[in-house]
Amino acid sequence: MIDSFLTFALIGFVAQLVDGALGMAFGVLSTTSLLAFGVPPATASAVTHVTEIFTTAASGASHVFHRNVNWHLVARLAPAGMIGGAVGAYALASVDAAFIQPLVSIYLAGIGCYIVFKAIGPVWPREVKDRIVPWIGAGGGLLDAMGGGGWGPIVTGSLIGRGHAPRQVIGSANLTEFLVTTTISATFIIALGWSELSSAAGLIVGGVLAAPLGGFLVSRIPTRPLMIGVGLIIIATSIPRIF
């Protein structure tokens, strides 16, 4: 029991360090690691999202304090993201683990490729079209719940790519993620029960301990090499489980 707690705490600590430096990847790293330890896909996603309630609350509050939040953007993202997240969580909890695990691994490998592409690929500024924001939120919430992560790469990456101000996108997406992940967690608890989520304690402790170091890492670690490294790790650990 103690060994499991320490293992999950280490996973949460490392994932939160990376997330603090990149503004994304806690969910996909945590879920990928839990799947590698044999945790079923639904439980891995549920544990990750319960943990993210605490980490996103701290992150969202910080962005509100520093005035990085566009409340109009939050109002457009949050309802759709919460609905998409609830649907994705219920669907994942209702599907046989043997069937869904290869699909989740394919999705995570795709997210890993996307992170690498964002690190080395060109940026194409696009016209900001507000009407697409709810659809991005719904898709981000749905895939985040079913894949155990991906809100940051999907929502933040899409909105910045469409021309929204990066500072407001990061702040608004982080605050919205708290609402989305709380909805996803509640859905998993209803569908799976709390006993399935006991390993969340280790992730929470590790994540909370690492959270204050995010600002330090942002100023010290080059973003591009870290993104490439994280993307390659996710790809390398996901591909074997596809087969």
Closest to 128 (Cα-Cα) out of 100, 159, 93, 89: 159
Which residue stretches of the chain are H helix?
2-22, 26-36, 41-65, 71-94, 97-120, 133-147, 151, 157-161, 166-192, 200-210, 214-220, 223-242
Quick one: pLDDT band at residue 192, thresholds 50, 70, 90? Answer: confident
What's residue 186's pLDDT?
Answer: 93
- Predicted local confidence at residue 105, as pLDDT: 80
Residue 10: pLDDT over 80: yes
Q: Percent of the chain, pLDDT > 90?
A: 16
Say whether 38 sits in a helix, a strand or coil.
coil
Q: How far is CA 32 from CA 14, 70, 74, 100, 152, in A?
A: 13, 31, 28, 14, 15
CA distance 117 to 151: 16
**Separation between Cα atoms, residue 165 and residue 159, nearest integer Å:** 8
Give residue 200's pLDDT band: very low, low, confident or very high (50, 70, 90): confident
- Residue position matching structure tokens 């992150």: 59
- Lowest-confidence segment of 76-80, 96-100, 116-120, 144-148 by average pLDDT: 96-100
- pTM (predicted TM-score): 0.78
DSSP-assigned states of every residue in 71-98:
HHHHHHHHHHHHHHHHHHHHHHHHS-HH
